[in-house]
Amino acid sequence: MSVGTGRDFASLLDELLVDSRIEDQSMPPPTVSFDYLAVAEELLSGRIRVADDRVAAEYDDMSGSLDDKVDALFEAVGASVERPEPPAADLPPVEPEAILRELGLKASTNAAELAKIRRAFAFKNHPDRVAPHLRQRAMVRMQVANMLIDDARRRARPRG
């Protein structure tokens, strides 16, 4: 590559490309032969030991005593790992009449208002936005609400 002042950028790039092709032909590409399956087989065979049996036994002893300590703490606090089911009164209703009251649909509601009602209900009740134990119930509520809104839309559509 020669250095000159009267050259343009394109000719400089062309010269670099030619130089890189010459270098590529002179040297073979680097290769590393590595048999991943052989390494995995060797690790799984048990012939390779990462730590001796004494370390594994000490680890088991420590983790066992840790489990006992955690269990003792839970017992001392009086807490249980299992969460009780919420009372039925706290669960949102899935009955169409209750959802219809919640939506507040009227015979005079137009299509734009129905779309707004649908979005507002989905924002509050979508299964992705509620607690995990309420997701199935939220899905049913969304289906019922969409059915009710679609019915109201069909009734509101002008005929003619």
Angle, nearest 10°, between helix axes 96-103 and 111-125? 110
For the stretch 97-112, pLDDT in tens is 999 999 999 888 899 9
Mean pLDDT highest for which of 8-12, 63-67, 118-122? 118-122
Assessment of whether the complete model's pTM goes beyond 0.95: no
Kindly report, residue by residue over 49-98, the tens digit of the pLDDT. Answer: 666 777 777 777 766 666 777 777 777 777 655 656 656 668 899 999 99
User: What is the spatial distance between Cα 108 and Cα 31, in angstroms, rounded to a whole number?
Assistant: 75
